[in-house]
Amino acid sequence: MIEPRWHSTKDGGVSSACRLCFRGCKIPEGGSGACGARMYSHGVFSSPHLGRFVSVAVDPIEKKPLRRWRPGTKILSLGGLHCNMRCPFCQNHVIAHPDGPVREREITPRGLAEAAKSSSLRSVAYTYNEPSLQAEYIFAASPILRAEGIATVMVTNGMFGEEVCGEAVGAVDAMNVDVKAFDADSYRRLGGSLDAVKRNVRRLVNGGVHIELTNLVVPGISDSPDGFADMIDWIAKVSPDIPLHISRYFPAYRYDKPPTDISSIEKFLDIARGRLKYVYAGNI
Ligand code: SF4
């Protein structure tokens, strides 16, 4: 049983504060955090989905996407329930924002290591929904996986709280971080924080985690050439060696604007290739 961490009681036990992500939710008695995954009831903080997954698949590593870390290999990929952001164009809303009960399967860290080994896989990805909601499990499983020569990957929005980010440096081998937009207002509307993702990406890169970034170009949200150029400037200053995946949006969930113009993607590829060494187009 993996217990939730990074929380403390407030107001003499009347509520609880969660520090897993940048939101820092204050959860009242009988309530849950903004992610829907963590709750406080009868004085007990709980995270009932820890170690429970709804999707298990073997994917090419390029599908995460990671292009400059173990290319050509396959990766055991796990997804669970819930998310701490609210993107109206979410491609995985069925599990990220479930309408009702979804059948979950418990997988112990030891069971995960055995599953990867039995398929001759050398890496495990926490992906599909927001994996930081499984941070306690990921950090507990990482040394068990490493002892078997299996690496840990997260495909994440990067909204970790500071303590979680610090532990990720030691526990996670590679990440793809989704940079949703490059202005604070857009991020706020999506339920995220540009400052948090910038701070965390820099810390992870400096800590030696292999980082690749994805930017989904969504019309009306993240298709401003000025904002894109600002993002490229920031990435280049962190490191021009960070691979960037520029991805084309298609309508999904509650967002029905037409797909991103190919001409916008081509323009953004040109801007990015002027400053960064590794730039890839996705969903084209
Ligand atoms: S993980 Fe984030 S959104 Fe969920 S309860 Fe904790 S602070 Fe709130």
Question: Measured from the CB, is residue 50 less than 6 Å from ligand 1?
Answer: no
pLDDT tens string 139-191: 999 999 999 999 999 999 999 999 999 999 999 999 999 999 999 999 999 99
- Give residue 36 CA to ligand 1 midpoint distance, Å: 8
Is 232 found in the same domain as 105?
Answer: yes
Question: Which residue reads 């073997």 in tokens?
Answer: 58
Is 215 found in the same domain as 110?
Answer: yes
Give the residue whose CA is nearest to atom 6 of ligand 1: 18
Is 275 found in the same domain as 256?
Answer: yes
- Give residue 26 CA to ligand 1 midpoint distance, Å: 9
| Residue 263, domain CATH | 3.20.20.70
How many C-beta neighbours within 10 Å does residue 255 have? 16
Give the residue whose CA is nearest to atom 4 of ligand 1: 35
Check residue 151 and give its pLDDT.
Answer: 99
Instruction: Note whether residue 132 is domain-resident.
Output: yes
Is 266 found in the same domain as 197?
Answer: yes
- Give residue 45 CA to ligand 1 midpoint distance, Å: 12
Is 29 found in the same domain as 132?
Answer: no
Instruction: Note whether residue 2 is domain-resident.
Output: no
Question: Measured from the CB, is residue 21 less than 6 Å from ligand 1?
Answer: yes
Is 116 found in the same domain as 39?
Answer: no
Q: The domain containing residue 97 runs over which residues?
A: 52-282
Query: Which residues, given as ranges, of the chain have pLDDT below 50?
Result: none
Is 169 found in the same domain as 141?
Answer: yes
Check residue 10 and give its pLDDT.
Answer: 85
Is 152 found in the same domain as 17?
Answer: no
Is 65 found in the same domain as 40?
Answer: no
Instruction: Note whether residue 211 is domain-resident.
Output: yes
Question: Measured from the CB, is residue 18 less than 6 Å from ligand 1?
Answer: yes
Check residue 274 and give its pLDDT.
Answer: 98
Instruction: Note whether residue 1 is domain-resident.
Output: no
Is 59 found in the same domain as 26?
Answer: no
- Give residue 175 CA to ligand 1 midpoint distance, Å: 20
Instruction: Note whether residue 206 is domain-resident.
Output: yes
- Give residue 215 CA to ligand 1 midpoint distance, Å: 23
Question: Measured from the CB, is residue 38 less than 6 Å from ligand 1?
Answer: yes
Instruction: Note whether residue 20 is domain-resident.
Output: yes
Instruction: Note whether residue 243 is domain-resident.
Output: yes
Q: In sequence order, which residues have a C-beta less than 8 Å from that of residue 99 and are 6 or more positions away?
A: none
pTM: 0.97
Count of domains observed in the chain: 2
Question: Measured from the CB, is residue 84 less than 6 Å from ligand 1?
Answer: yes
Question: Which residue reads 């050509």 in tokens?
Answer: 72
Is 205 found in the same domain as 67?
Answer: yes
Is 240 found in the same domain as 205?
Answer: yes
